[in-house]
Amino acid sequence: MMGLDRGMPLLQYDDKWRLQRKLARTALSGDAVKKYHGVQSHVAALMCNSFLTDPAHFRDHTRLAAGRIIMSVAYGLPVSDAQHEVHSEILCIPLADHILVQYITHAEATLEMISQATMPGAFIADIFPIFRHVPSWVPFISCKKEAQEGRAMIEHLVETPFEHVIKDITAGRAPPSFTHDLLADSSDADNETEYKHAVLWSAGSLYGAGGETTYTTVLVFLICMARHPEIQKKAQEELDKVVGQERIPAPIDRGKLPYVEAVIKEVMRWKPALPLGIPRRVDKDDEYCGYHIPSNSIVIPNVWAVAMDVPSKYPASDFVPERFLEDHPPIDPASYSFGFGRRVCPGKLLAENSVFLLITSILYCCNVSLPVTVDERGQKRQTELSVKFTTGLVSYPMPFECSIEPRSAERSYVVKRAAMDVV
């Protein structure tokens, strides 16, 4: 009803889906995503510099970092520009580039709506489909009105930045991006209108698929580091040996940091960003563990159950990166966190690299610890960190506090210098 089935994640398996899938796989292949390494590294430095100068708003800095990467990759919008104050219900910190901030603000509101709307049974029309045909003015039946409002928000989300790219292409000033590159390579398209529609919706799917999961994963990492300082210290020691102090972590460091990468895997396993994945429709009759699954049934992949089913000596509910360094480690969370089979997220490589750079950059320059309060005698005390998570499609940590401090003045300077670099 909201039109979410026009984008790749929920689009039915047909020629339109195959075209969007083909475009996304081409534009986000292993070789293609390398050209975004510079942007991702720069955004990681910008985020960490904000952590060091304004640690109280770490949540907003993390959200902006995830949005900056996706907006730069999808539409070529700049990740930094003249600084100015932008206020909204979601962001209220000095941010870069007014167009970028406006989009991220609207995207957050839209994706929160989508997260709730896509939960099975969220609306009465999910249970009784006949209500889809009830007029929006009928009292007490709000699903159609809400769907119309949601549809308008979604269309604004995908169309506004796309039109921005079209204008820049016409003016001859469009930088390389997912959208620009695909539109520039449309000479072989059989139907130009259908091709543009496919580019529009495949680009629009990137924010929800990549930005939100990256944002959530980094927040969960902060929670885990605050609760487990010994794990943070061990990861920092490994990082220091490989990276040193003179530069921030880079994509070339992947594969050289087994413990750090085990920490990232454990973050993704311990609290999956999409605990119930995305509902799917069975296209033919199937049998599974003695159960008959009729064609056209809706199935929900229980990602959380897969994550908790770990053959390890460590309890599944505990945060223990060492489980991924055993002789027989659990399944890599990347194999189920990004979907399955032909529906696996085509932006998987981009998202993995974003998470790696954001997390390793935090480890490089910051010490994350439990929140500190001052008692009646003026003494500082660390308090317990209790966090609840939302129950939508994407499971976010609800607002929490932690302490973020610089590891050293030298590292802070390196981060500041990297944040000032022009990509």
CA 70, 206, 272, 388 torsion-angle sign: positive
Q: Answer whether 24's CB lies under 8 Å from 209's CB.
A: no
Identify the burial level of 173 via C-beta atoms within 10 angstroms of its C-beta, where 0-12 means exposed, 13-18 middle and 19 or more buried: exposed
Alpha helices in 54-139 (DSSP H): 58-75, 98-117, 124-127
Contacts of residues 321-324 at CB distance under 8 Å and 24 or more positions apart, as own/partner, are 321/231, 321/235, 321/259, 321/262, 321/263, 321/265, 321/266, 322/262, 323/262, 323/266, 324/261, 324/262, 324/265, 324/266
Q: Are 107 and 207 in contact (CB under 8 A)?
A: yes
Q: Residue 295 — left, alpha, or beta (φ > 0 → left; ψ -120 to 50 → alpha)?
A: beta
Indicate the residue type of 382.
Q
Rounded Cα–Cα distance for residues 365 and 139 (Å): 56
Q: With the C-alpha atoms ordered 19, 212, 225, 58, is the resulting torsion angle positive or negative? A: positive
Residues whose CB falls within 8 Å of the CB of residue 119, separated by 6 or more in sequence, listed in order:
391, 392, 393
Contact 153, 204 (CB under 8 A): no
Any known ligand binding at 143?
A: no
Cα gap 227→402, rounded to integer Å: 10
Provide CB contacts within 8 A for 320, sequence distance 6+: 266, 312, 314
- DSSP at 10: T
C-alpha 361: how far from chain center: 17
CA 353 to chain CA centroid, Å, is 11
Binding residues for heme, as ranges, are 345
